[in-house]
């Protein structure tokens, strides 16, 4: 390391010692590292999700499954139901698969990036975060916050995603050999509270004296992002079938869009359907309204239609008591549809 990169690391670690966020999955600076299970669970939950949204889910998972062995022994459907509302449901399936893989190796996580990468669902970022934070390994941890801090610190103005190689190389140069986990979390905290996306607080930043982006006069312009493409809009239909205080729920098949989750029966929009599929039973239908939801690659307009519940629905499912509907673990889309149906029926 050059003197300047050593100064960056020591300055930031000093700032972190004074200003580290208190988070339920973290250990304060100077304390023993948190359990690898906590680090892994929180990092998977935090992917594309805010800290505020994750906190109650993290607490709930620890309450139900206090260690990786308990999570591995759970049914996948139970894990999916507990995850409901957190989004990006493939994470929950990977979480369960990873827990089982760790249980098979005696219930202990490997302590190196290379070995962690061999576990189901662990990409480069998550493996690096666990290695650094839980095991004290020197690892280069780059999430969206770190990416923003480094792009500004070194004035990397190549548009994303092309700039990611240069950003990672720069992050590698300033990552210290000691306290790499604290350094990674310090970078995350700096990006979330000071070097924010729209309004960087340069006067409060401990690295402002070293920041090339600040010297340009417009640090908020970094990192440069490619123009967003408009998301296509799909349409679909979900059916509300109610009988004697219960609603008919199905379990979605496969591992694709919301696979394995409980849901209202629908017309297959998730497979690219155009909303013209047939109803799950031959009975009178009453339109209740439309709910809208945005997924990663498209937006959805889902028509919610009530069907007379006297006839028996096609296929397999379960009559779920309306009073316990909150316990069904419906994903956000179908929770929206259920709220609409309950309000309009």
Segment 38-68, tens digit of pLDDT = 999 999 999 989 999 999 999 999 999 999 9
Query: E strand or H helix at 9, and its extent?
Result: helix 3-19
Percentage of residues in the chain having pLDDT higher than 90: 80
pLDDT of residue 30: 87
pLDDT tens across 233-242, in order? 999 999 999 9
| pLDDT value at 98 more than 80 | yes
pLDDT of residue 3: 42
The CATH number of domain 233-344, selected from 3.30.70.20, 3.30.1360.120, 3.30.1360.200, 3.90.79.10:
3.90.79.10
Most confident listed range (60-64, 226-230, 305-309): 60-64
- Lowest-pLDDT range, 47-51, 99-103, 310-314? 310-314
Is residue 344 a contact partner of residue 288, using CB atoms and an 8 Å limit? Answer: yes
Tokens coding 214: 């600040």
Residue 151 Cα to chain centre, angstroms = 23
DSSP letter assigned to residue 339: H
C-alpha to C-alpha distance for 60 and 71, rounded to whole angstroms: 12
CATH class as words, domain 34-135? mainly alpha
pLDDT of residue 195: 98
Give 312's pLDDT tier (boundaries 50, 70, 90). Answer: confident
Q: Where are the domains of the chain?
A: 1-18+137-228, 34-135, 233-344
C-alpha to C-alpha distance for 59 and 55, rounded to whole angstroms: 6
Q: What value does the mean pLDDT of the chain take?
A: 92
pLDDT tens across 243-296, in order? 999 999 999 887 678 888 899 999 988 765 555 556 676 778 899 999 999 988
Give 172's pLDDT tier (boundaries 50, 70, 90). Answer: very high
Tokens coding 324: 């316990």
Catalytic residue among 43, 115, 147, 212: 43
pLDDT of residue 345: 75
Q: How far is CA 38 from CA 26, 42, 185, 267, 334, in A?
A: 8, 6, 14, 39, 29
Phi, psi values for residue 121, rounded to 5°:
80, 0
User: 25: Cβ–Cβ under 8 A, 6 or more apart, which residues?
Assistant: 34, 38, 39, 41, 42, 58
Pick the residue with more confidence: 6 or 278? 6
| Domain 1-18+137-228, architecture per CATH | Orthogonal Bundle (1.10)
pLDDT tens across 113-160, in order? 999 999 999 999 999 999 999 999 999 999 999 999 999 999 999 999
C-alpha to C-alpha distance for 49 and 298, rounded to whole angstroms: 18
Best CA proximity match to 59, nearest among 86, 19, 89: 86
Percentage of residues in the chain having pLDDT higher than 70: 95
C-alpha to C-alpha distance for 246 and 175, rounded to whole angstroms: 56
| pLDDT value at 1 more than 80 | no
pLDDT of residue 276: 53
DSSP letter assigned to residue 32: P
What is 237-281 written as a DSSP string? Answer: EEEEEEETTEEEEEE--SSSTTTT-EE--B--GGGT--S-PPPSS
Give 24's pLDDT tier (boundaries 50, 70, 90). Answer: very high
The mean per-residue pLDDT over the stretch 83-95 comes to 91
The mean per-residue pLDDT over the stretch 31-41 comes to 97
User: 100: Cβ–Cβ under 8 A, 6 or more apart, which residues?
Assistant: 72
Mark whether 115 is an active-site residue. Answer: no
**How many degrees, rounded to 5, is the angle at CA 280 between CA 275 and CA 289?**
50
Strand pairing of 233-243 and 246-251?
Answer: antiparallel
C-alpha count within 13 angstroms, C-beta hemisphere, residue 67? 8
Whole-model pTM: value is 0.82
């Amino acid at each position: 390391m050059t003197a300047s990169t050593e100064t960056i690391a020591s300055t930031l670690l000093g700032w972190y010692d004074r200003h580290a966020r208190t988070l339920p999955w973290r250990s304060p600076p100077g304390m023993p590292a948190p359990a690898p299970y906590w680090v892994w669970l929180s990092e998977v939950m935090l992917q594309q999700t805010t800290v505020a949204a994750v906190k109650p889910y993290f607490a709930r998972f620890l309450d139900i499954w206090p260690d990786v062995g308990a999570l591995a022994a759970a049914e996948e459907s139970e894990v999916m139901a507990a995850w409901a509302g957190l989004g990006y449901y493939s994470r929950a399936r990977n979480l369960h698969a990873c827990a089982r893989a760790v249980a098979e190796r005696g219930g202990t996580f490997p302590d190196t990036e290379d070995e962690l990468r061999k576990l189901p669902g662990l990409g480069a970022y998550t493996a690096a975060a666990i290695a650094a934070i839980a095991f004290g390994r020197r690892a280069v941890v780059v999430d969206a916050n770190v990416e923003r801090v480094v792009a500004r610190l070194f004035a990397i103005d190549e548009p994303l995603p092309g700039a990611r190689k240069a950003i990672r190389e720069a992050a590698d140069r300033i990552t210290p050999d000691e306290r790499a986990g604290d350094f990674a979390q310090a970078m995350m905290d700096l990006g979330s509270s000071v070097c924010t996306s729209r309004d960087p607080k340069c006067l409060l930043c401990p690295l402002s004296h070293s920041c090339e982006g600040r010297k340009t006069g417009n640090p908020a312009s970094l990192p440069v992002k490619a123009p967003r493409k408009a998301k296509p809009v799909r349409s679909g239909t979900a059916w509300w079938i109610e009988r004697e205080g219960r609603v008919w729920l199905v379990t979605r098949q496969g591992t694709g869009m919301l696979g394995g989750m409980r849901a209202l029966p629908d017309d297959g929009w998730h497979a690219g359907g155009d909303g013209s599929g047939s109803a799950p039973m031959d009975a009178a239908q009453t339109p209740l309204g439309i709910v809208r939801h945005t997924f990663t690659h498209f937006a959805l307009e889902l028509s919610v239609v009530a069907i007379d519940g006297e006839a028996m629905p096609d296929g397999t499912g379960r009559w779920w008591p309306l009073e316990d509907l909150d316990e069904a673990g419906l994903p956000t889309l179908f929770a929206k549809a259920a709220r609409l149906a309950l309000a309009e029926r």
